[in-house]
């Protein structure tokens, strides 16, 4: 049986020639890249950002990745998916990502769903659902509307791990806020 070669963290140095996933099933490949997106999400959490990570692949190779940086970037547009799509367009030298797959740990918001449509990404794989802003089925399914592009969507890949990371982050945040409130004022 082929073991999925998990890496211990997201590697920006994955040598493409060594990354032969051709023996993977579709499910194994999806899990592999989602795990990479999770590593990126962990990096976001370390920065104090809501942990969301995204990877764009092109014919099985990573061509862009990103993390949520709204706080550190002080910018509402700094979502992981936008960063990853931006990087992929730069690397590939074009805006039509017609052979790409976008992996993201959290269901995309309306902005990122729009970016996926605009970039003509044919396949989206996401982990956790987002009942507050998710626009691929939770709040609304923008892909069901008659836009000129409709990607294939694969939800719920490593859903527990993706949701668990967010849960842990928000629990720690609430705890910190509680402690700050109870600290004696000087
Ligand atoms: Zn977004």
- How much distance in Å is there from the Cα of 134 to the middle of ligand 1? 9
Given this model, what pLDDT does residue 186 score?
Answer: 59
- How much distance in Å is there from the Cα of 78 to the middle of ligand 1? 8
Given this model, what pLDDT does residue 183 score?
Answer: 72
- How much distance in Å is there from the Cα of 16 to the middle of ligand 1? 28
What is the bridge-based pairing of β-strands 123-128 and 152-154?
parallel
- Which residue numbers are catalytic? 81
- How much distance in Å is there from the Cα of 174 to the middle of ligand 1? 23
Specify the pTM.
0.90
Given this model, what pLDDT does residue 181 score?
Answer: 87
**Token duo for residue 70:** 């709204």
Decide: 105 and 127 in contact? Cβ < 8 Å: yes
User: How many Å apart are CA 36 and CA 31, to the nearest integer?
Assistant: 9
Phi-psi region of 74 (alpha: psi -120 to 50; beta: other; left: phi over 0): left
Q: In sequence order, which residues have a C-beta less than 8 Å from that of residue 12 and are 6 or more positions away?
A: 65
**Token duo for residue 99:** 């052979």
Given this model, what pLDDT does residue 5 score?
Answer: 46
What does each of the 186 residues of the chain score in pLDDT, given as a tens digit? 334 445 556 766 665 555 677 788 899 999 999 999 999 999 999 999 999 999 999 998 899 999 999 999 999 999 999 999 999 999 999 999 999 999 999 999 999 999 999 999 999 999 999 999 999 999 999 999 999 999 999 999 999 999 999 999 999 999 999 998 887 665
Centroid of chain to Cα 73: 17
- How much distance in Å is there from the Cα of 27 to the middle of ligand 1? 24
Given this model, what pLDDT does residue 8 score?
Answer: 58
């Amino acid at each position: 049986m082929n073991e999925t070669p998990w890496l211990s963290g997201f590697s920006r140095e994955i040598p493409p020639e060594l990354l032969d996933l051709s023996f993977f099933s579709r499910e194994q490949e999806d899990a592999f890249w989602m795990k990479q997106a999770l590593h990126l999400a962990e990096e976001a959490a370390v920065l104090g950002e809501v942990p969301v990570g995204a990877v764009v692949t092109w014919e099985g190779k990573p061509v862009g990745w990103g993390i949520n940086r709204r706080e550190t970037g002080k910018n509402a547009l700094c979502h992981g998916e936008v960063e990853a799509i931006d990087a992929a367009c730069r690397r590939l030298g074009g805006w039509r990502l017609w052979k790409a797959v976008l992996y993201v740990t959290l269901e995309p918001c309306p902005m990122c769903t729009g970016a996926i449509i605009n970039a003509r990404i044919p396949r989206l794989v996401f982990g956790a659902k987002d009942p507050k802003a998710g626009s691929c089925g939770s709040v609304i399914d923008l892909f069901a509307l008659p836009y000129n592009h409709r990607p294939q969507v694969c939800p719920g890949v490593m859903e527990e791990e993706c949701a668990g990371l967010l849960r842990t982050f928000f629990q720690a945040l609430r705890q910190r806020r509680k402690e700050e409130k109870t600290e004696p004022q000087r």
